[in-house]
Amino acid sequence: MANRIFYQEDCNLGLLDGKTIAIIGYGSQGHAHALNLKESGCNVIIGLYEGSRSWKRAEEQGFEVYTSAEAAKKAEEEAAAKKAAEEEALRKAAEEAAKKQQNDDAE
């Protein structure tokens, strides 16, 4: 079985627009993923345990750093808030379309 190599153009980063991505840990894997996502235009925060030696390094590289629990909660809350805003916009659009249809039917 041949291996497939993925490139930037193979990805749809639009799926991450407006989302906060929490990377838990900032070791050899975490910092690489965080920097790649940040350089790709994603909003990335870092979750670490209090007293982590990596905390200062992550902040120096431009990340907001929280405890792991706080980072996970913050990313989840922002996702829920965005979903609620999108649902409200859809509801309003549906109401406006229904009102327009009623006006058109009345004429």
| The three-state (H, E, C) secondary structure of 42-59, written as one string | CEEEEEECCCCCHHHHHH
Q: What would the pLDDT profile of 22-75 be if each residue is shown by its tens digit?
A: 999 999 899 999 999 999 889 999 999 999 999 999 999 999 999 999 999 988
26, burial (CB in 10 Å: exposed 0-12, middle 13-18, buried 19+): buried
Q: Which residues contact 62 (CB under 8 A, 6 or more apart)?
A: 38
Q: For residue 45, what pLDDT is reported?
A: 95
**pLDDT at residue 98 above 90?**
no
Question: 0.95 exceeded by the pTM?
Answer: no
Buried residues in 60-80 as b, exposed as e (16+ CB within 10 A): eeebebbebeebeebbeebee
Q: Read off the pLDDT of each residue in 11-19 and give the average, rounded to a whole number.
A: 83
